[in-house]
Amino acid sequence: MGKPILPDGFVVVVKRDCETCQTVVPVLQQLATVTDLTVYTQDDPNFPGDPAAIYDADLGVSWHHEIETVPTLIRVIDGVEVDRTFGWLRTAWEEFTGISGLGDGLPLMRPGCGSKSVDPDLVDELNVRHGGGVLRSRRIEVADAEDEIEMMFTRGWTDGLPVVPPTEQRVLKMLTGTSRAPDEIVATVPPDLVDVTVEKVAISAVMAGCLPEYMPWVLTAVEAVCNNEFNMHGLLATTMPVGPVLVCSGPGTRAIGMNSEINALGQGNRANSTIGRALQLIVRNVGGGRPGEIDRAAHGNPAKLSFCFAENDAGSPIGTLAGQHGVEPGVDAITVFAGEGPRGLIDQLSRMPESLASTLAAQLQVLHHHKLVLGFDAILVLGPEHARVFAEAGWDRDRILFELHMRLTTPAAKLERGAGGIAEGIPAGMSTADLPKFRPDGLMLAYTGGGAGLLSSVIPGWVNGEMGSKPVTREVRY
């Protein structure tokens, strides 16, 4: 059903359960005698009685015309609303209608009441009743005796954990979290190269347990992984235990309640957990990236369910990972990285930056294999205590990275296959010079974690470059 056309003249929307609406009944009687007035009533077909009203029984008129307060007085010309006022203020109604002497003897002003069409107990139902037509996805009928949670397991729509049934009410509510149209194509999702719309993303966000305010972050994550640079198809097909890692920053992370402090890389925060999970469900259910099929990870890792965290950019002495990739401070952004699960780096005793840098470099050198260099990237997640050691010495992000790269350079002869009695390594003769562990931009820094404990973490990456994956940073689009 389309948007109802309002009759020309003046239209007023009221309800009996509103003292202000009852107060202005004499005004409505005055208006009805001198102008074209149409009254819609939301809750009682017999109210106000005189003048007679049209009963907005299904609240379609109120919903479609976005009535938030009653009474609302609207001026309509040629079926088009040209102006409105709400509540009761004698001077405003007289100016609005061009009629003086309205409501003599009534209070000069009374505030309106909430429209029934925005009642929190009704709004989701009304969105389905009047707005459900915007949804284009196929409806799935569930038998009365069928458990909808178990049905979704049976049909292979889950990641191994229960998902939230994506009812029309929930999907429409999720769509309120973004200004983007439901039928807008967000990306083409690998490996099956299926176009995914905002609506389909909303469905997965519901299933993952997101709140509507997370939608811009989920949409941005989908855009960031579905491109040739990130190479999601290759990430699925590799036997290495990697998946998309979402590193979020900006004031929006705090606004939606993301965790950037204690246990930021772990469980317990709804936004962190469900934003990453929604992305994984989209790759699985829309793109076809299922374990045992295109997903060939030999071992996988628990972070493949969801790996999403926020940087503590408000307290960071080294800026943000997004800033390392060119995003201005204070701008909401997501960096996606093809990574493994995190592993801890411990140094409880270093109080000088040189010592701490040497500790971190020694632990970074062994990632993947201590003799394999240049082929893998990594994100070093500095905890606040370790970052403080560097900050107190005046080391900024560039200085930290420079010092780490200096300590991560090894003579080529020690890295060759067979050196040290170890068959793994770089091909003999690949280089006669010293070789760095990481390419120049291959080691990245993030800042997050609890304030106690001289600890950091590292997220090892997958193969980099043209044959692998490049980190992708996108500003969040609302």
* Mean pLDDT along residues 262-286: 97
Residue 342 has pLDDT above 80, yes or no: yes
Q: Calculate the average pLDDT of the chain.
A: 96
Domains of the chain with bracketed CATH: 9-118 (3.40.30.10), 154-475 (no CATH)
Residue 137 has pLDDT above 70, yes or no: yes
CA angle 43, 49, 52 (to 5 degrees): 95
Q: What pTM does this model have?
A: 0.87
Structure token pair of residue 151: 């049905």
Which residue do the tokens 């900024």 mark?
396
Residue 1 has pLDDT above 70, yes or no: no
**% pLDDT > 90, the chain:** 94
Nearest to 248 by CA among 286, 217, 225: 217
Contacts of 141 by beta carbon, 8 Å cutoff, 6+ apart: none
Residue 247 has pLDDT above 90, yes or no: yes
pLDDT at 8: 97
* Mean pLDDT along residues 461-477: 95
| Number of C-beta neighbours around residue 126 at 10 A | 22
CA distances to 268, 358, 362, 379, 427 from 347, in Å? 26, 10, 11, 18, 33
pLDDT at 216: 98
Q: Give per-residue pLDDT as tens, 66-124.
A: 999 999 999 999 999 999 999 999 999 999 999 999 999 999 999 999 999 999 999 98
